[in-house]
Amino acid sequence: MFDEARYDDVAGLLHPGCNVYWPNTRELFRGSQKLIDVNKRYPGRWHIDIVDVVAQDDLVVSVVRVYSHESKHSFYATSFFKFENSLIAEITEYWGDITEPPGWRIAEGLSERY
């Protein structure tokens, strides 16, 4: 749904009191509508590729790659979803830029690109 920018359709998956935490920017979005609104207003058209999903009990963890054909920036987002009565009640998302490693690590043979 997010990949297709169908943000209003997400409402049926969210608990109305769903809180969303973005620790990187220390933001809290209170209530499912705030999550929908921030995604509707976010500049540009973004796409999502699922990298991994792990579930245990009432917790689901996902790793996705987020990119845009309109921007040179791309990201990984690691999200922790907590459920109540089969609805998403809380999301904590950590965002990281996809970028080049520092040259010194490559030059010193400490890492290699994959």
1 in a domain, yes or no? no
In this prediction the pTM is 0.86
- Residue 93: give its domain's CATH number: 3.10.450.50
98 in a domain, yes or no? yes
Averaged pLDDT of the chain: 93
Per residue in 69-84, pLDDT tens?
998 889 999 999 999 9
28 in a domain, yes or no? yes
Domain count, the chain: 1
65 in a domain, yes or no? yes
The residues near 17 (Cβ < 8 Å, ≥ 6 apart) are 30, 31, 32, 89
2 in a domain, yes or no? no
Residue 21 sits in which domain range?
7-107
Q: Is the pLDDT of residue 47 over 90?
A: yes
113 in a domain, yes or no? no
| Segment holding 97, helix H or strand E | strand 87-97
112 in a domain, yes or no? no
